[in-house]
Amino acid sequence: MHSVKMLAGAAFASAILCSPSAWSAAPVVYSGSGANATTALDAFRAAIGGAKNTGAPEMSGRREISWDGVRLDGTDVNPNTQVVDSGHTVIIPVDRFRAQGALFEDPYAVSGDGFASVNPATAGQFPAFSPNNTFVMQDDTPYQFDDRFIGQSFTIPGTATAAGTRGFGAIFVDVEKAGSSSIEYFGHDSSGHEISLGTFNVPTGTSGEPQFLGVLFDQPVVTDVKLAVGTNTLFNFDGTHFQSFGGENLAAGTDLAVTDDFVYAEPTVAAAIPEPSSYALMLAGLSLLGLIAYRKKSAFNQL
C-alpha cells in the first residue's frame, strides 16, 4: 500500500532560509501512488479551496485540465490541432488551454488510446486516470527520443497576461523508476529574474498505476512549471510521419510514463518571491557559525 505524503519539511524550510528566493512558509507537498493517488489529489483540491472554475477569471478556486475535451479526429475546437493518427492521437497547439490559464512551452500530444497507436510496444501500459485522453510530450526530431519535458506557464484565464498560481499538481501514470519523473516549480523575484522554487520527485508505483504529485505555496508565486515525464519520449513526429520509441526496459534504466489530469490554483497576479529579511539572514548566519563551532569542537575532542 502506497502512503499519502503531505509534507512541510523542516529540512526544506531551513534550506530556503539561506536562499535569496525565500518565501514566507515552506510549501506543502501532496503525494500518493496507486489507490492513494486519488486521496492525495482530493487533499490537494481541498487545500486549494473554493470551486472548480471553467469560465472567466476568478479570485479563488482552481482550474483543472483532463484533456478529454480534445477531439482526436481533426475536428477539435482549435483548428491548429494537428492529427498524428486520426481518432487516436493529436498534437495540440501551445495555447489550446489558454481559457484555463495554461500556456505550453511547445505543442504536445493528446491520445485516446494510451498512445498505443504511436507506440504499439506500450499498448495497455497507460490506462487513463480520467477516461479517456492522456497527455505527453513528443520529440519533433527524427530518431531522437530525449525531450522528456513538458513546460507550462500560467496566464490570467482567457488572456495572454502572465500570472502566478499558489500551487500545481498532476497525475502521472506508470512511474516505476525513482527519480525518472518530477515537477520543478519556478517564480520571479522583484527584479523579474526567474528562480527555481524546487524540484520534487513523483512517487513510484507498479506498472499501470497512477501517481499524483502536487505542491502548494501560500502565495501565487509559481509562474512556470516543468514536468519531467519518464526517461524518454514515447514517439517523435516530424509533422508528417511518426516513429515509435519502443517498450521500456527498467533493468536498463528506461522508464516510460504519461500524464493525465492537471490541477492548479486559480492563476492571478503573480506575487514576487520576497527577499529574505535581515533577521532570517542573521539566523542562517548563526546556524552556520554554530555548525562550524561544533565541527571544530568535535575535531578537538578527537585529538
Q: Which pLDDT tens digit goes with each residue over 270-293?
A: 999 876 543 344 434 544 544 444
| Residue 222 neighbours by CB distance under 10 Å | 28
Q: Which whole-number Å values give the CA distances from 245 to 21, 85, 145, 263, 276, in the listed order?
A: 39, 16, 7, 29, 46
More confident residue, 39 or 23: 39
More confident residue, 114 or 292: 114
Measured CA to CA, the distance from residue 52 to residue 115 in angstroms comes to: 28
Reduced to 3 states (helix: H, G, I; strand: E, B; else coil), residue 214 is strand
Is cis: bond before 119, omega within 30 of 0? no
Backbone φ and ψ for 300, nearest 5 degrees, come out as -65, -40
**Hey, what's the cell of 117?**
497507436
284 occurs within a structural domain: no
- Residue 243 located in a structural domain: yes
Residue 226 lies in a domain: yes
Question: What average pLDDT does this structure show over 23-52?
Answer: 93
Looking at the domain assignment, is residue 222 inside a domain? yes
Average pLDDT, the chain: 87
Give the model's pLDDT for residue 249.
96
Q: Would the CA dihedral through 34, 122, 82, 164 be positive or negative?
A: positive
The tally of domains found in the chain comes to 1
- Compare 161 and 10 and report the one with higher pLDDT: 161
**Residue at 53 is within a domain:** yes
pLDDT in tens, 199-249: 999 999 999 999 999 999 999 999 999 999 999 999 999 899 999 999 999
Band of the pLDDT at 26, cuts 50, 70, 90? Answer: confident
Residue numbers of the domain that contains 69: 5-272
First to last CA, the chain: 49
Domain-located, residue 25:
yes
Task: Give the residue among 222, 203, 230 at the shortest CA–CA distance from 263.
Answer: 222
Cβ-Cβ contacts under 8 Å for 122 (sequence gap 6 or more): 114, 115, 116, 234, 247, 248, 256
Residue 283 lies in a domain: no
Asked if the structure places residue 294 within a domain, the reply is no
- Provide CB contacts within 8 A for 93, sequence distance 6+: 78, 80, 81, 107
E strands along 77-148, which residues?
82-85, 89-92, 102-104, 108-111, 134-136
* DSSP reduced 3-state for 120: helix
Predicted structure pTM score: 0.85
Nearest to 197 by CA among 228, 226, 232, 236: 226
Percent of the chain beyond pLDDT 70?
Answer: 82
